[in-house]
Structure 1
Amino acid sequence: MSSTTITIDEALLVAQLADSAFPSGAFTFSWGIEGLAGDGLLNSPADLAKIVEEQITLRWAGMDRPLLARAHAAPDPEAVLTVDREAEAATASAPLRAGSRRAGRRLLGVFAGRGYPDADSYRDLIRDVEEAGHLPVVQGLVFRAAGLEFEAALVVSGWTTASGLVSAALRLGIVGHRDAQDILDGLRPVIAEAIAAPIDPAMLPWSFTPVVDIALARSSGRQGRMFTT
């Protein structure tokens, strides 16, 4: 991350938006963690640390980060919708597409309900657009509307991605609270490096997490699921 200085107010806003208590609805998603545990591929803190790092470096950095960047810079709702359709086309996993849209629309609803006109306008625009509402796109829109500069928006997005995965494993009983914090400690430099990396405006969004994608694809047939994904 660059040496950009943020105000105390912006730092407090980052803390608020990155707090697990913020009502984004993300607690209902494990993003494949539950499926990996069910398949016997996630059994220890070391397994979890590796999986979350891969999600940051091989999905969030290449997919969420550039999509958030384009939505954050978009001049109007129609331009945001163009980014949303790009997110839909770039996400190969059907369960991940559906989960991203559900999580994004929930976050959009939170901001619209709290009186942010940009969020309300975009929610109206995409009400009948099935392929729109992807989480990183909505994050770019609503975090800018809330007053976050681009890098601060990336901090919230990257941190909530990592902490959400770790929290899902914690709720599933795969790790304890101390292990969870140790894993997040180790991920801070990984997230910081991803945030600091330049984003080519012509870069196509990409990801390569086939094991997680397979776990997500198998999730619909599982019994007694705790999470939506």
Structure 2
Amino acid sequence: MHAEQVSNSSHSAAFGMLNMLQFGDSQFPSGSFAFSGGLEALFNDKKIATPEQVYDFIAAQLSGRWNSLDRVALGRSFHNANQLDIVVEIDQEVDALTLSEGLRIGSCRNGAALLSMHARLGTPGSLEYRQKLHNHEATGHVAVIQGLVFRHCGMTLLEAQVAGAHGVCADLLGAAMRLGKLGHLHAQLIRQNLTSHIAELLEQPVSDIQQMHSYLPSTEIAAMRHEISDQRLFAN
């Protein structure tokens, strides 16, 4: 391989990783700060009270929802990023599989905010898909939007999945801290311990023909109860 080819290859790899760091960072304005994923209701019900229980909750979200549904949707959207009609079908399937209205609306609002930011940044495909949301042709679930825009940002599929999984952790840990249930040190310890869990999940390949599914009844019920709660800092 010539030196120029090596340089181009390294540039491409670095480009994708740098975009992963930028767009997977909690500081990126994706709108996810407004959602707790059912965590607020579980705190209010005293079902979760310790850092260990916060870890268990996030690990369950990664295994029971993200890995089996959101990750699959992200991968399908990533592979079909240039075929927006197929992306719409994936979006609609995720919508049908998200039982709780609060979680469904939260995912769509998060996805719409992410898409809007990428449309303003000029990410290919984002403006066209945003129009589909405005026309009510698509729902805009965040995992689907991640697959679409991350592909056009030069990430590999693995980098896109890492950014998605990290986003789940960052959002839920951020919610726990804003609810006053965690300090920064405990949050970092939990995130550090979740790294091996995420790595194990990512070692298991997923395919475009794999069925999407999730099973987190306690989270779904908590999110539904949160919809009628008088104590609400977060939208879900």
TM-score (norm 2): 0.91
In structure 2, the partner of 1:48 is: 54
In structure 2, the partner of 1:105 is: 112
SS of corresponding position for 1:21: coil
1:101-150 Cα offsets, whole Å, 9 max, x none, are 11111111010111123000011122132761011000000111111111
Residue in structure 2 matching 1:145, options 152, 163, 176: 152
In structure 2, the partner of 1:8 is: 14
Q: CA deviation at 1:176?
A: 0.9
Point out where structure 2 has 5 or more consecutive residues left out of the alignment: 1-9
Which 4+ stretches in 1 moved above 3 angstroms? none
**Pairing 1:193–2:200 present:** yes
Q: CA deviation at 1:186?
A: 0.6
Residue in structure 1 matching 2:101, options 74, 82, 94: 94
- Residue correspondence of structure 1 range 48-67 to structure 2 within 5 A: 48-67=54-73
SS of corresponding position for 1:7: helix
Output the CA distance in 1 between the equivalents of 2:89 and 2:76.
10
**Pairing 1:20–2:10 present:** no
1:141-175 Cα offsets, whole Å, 9 max, x none, are 01111111111000000001012111110111111
1:41-90 Cα offsets, whole Å, 9 max, x none, are 11110110100000001110001000000000114111110110111112
**Pairing 1:173–2:180 present:** yes
Pick the structure with greater CA Rg. Answer: 2
In structure 2, the partner of 1:220 is: 227
Which stretch has the larger CA shift, 157-166 or 195-204?
195-204
> Residues 75 and 208 of structure 2 are in contact (CA less than 8 Å); yes or no, is this contact kept in structure 1?
no
Q: CA deviation at 1:26?
A: 0.6
Which stretch has the larger CA shift, 144-153 or 9-18?
9-18
In structure 2, the partner of 1:85 is: 92
> Residues 101 and 131 of structure 1 are in contact (CA less than 8 Å); yes or no, is this contact kept in structure 2?
no
In structure 1, the partner of 2:7 is: none
> Residues 88 and 138 of structure 2 are in contact (CA less than 8 Å); yes or no, is this contact kept in structure 1?
no
Equivalenced residues, count:
225
Output the CA distance in 2 between the equivalents of 1:131 and 1:47.
36
Alpha-carbon distance change, 131 to 218 in structure 1, aligned in 2, over 3 angstroms: farther
Alpha-carbon distance change, 202 to 7 in structure 1, aligned in 2, over 3 angstroms: closer
In structure 2, the partner of 1:126 is: 133
In structure 2, the partner of 1:72 is: 78
Point out where structure 1 has 5 or more consecutive residues left out of the alignment: none
Q: Which amino acid aligns with 1:12?
A: L
Output the CA distance in 2 between the equivalents of 1:88 and 1:28.
19
> Residues 16 and 153 of structure 2 are in contact (CA less than 8 Å); yes or no, is this contact kept in structure 1?
no
Q: Which amino acid aligns with 2:139?
A: A
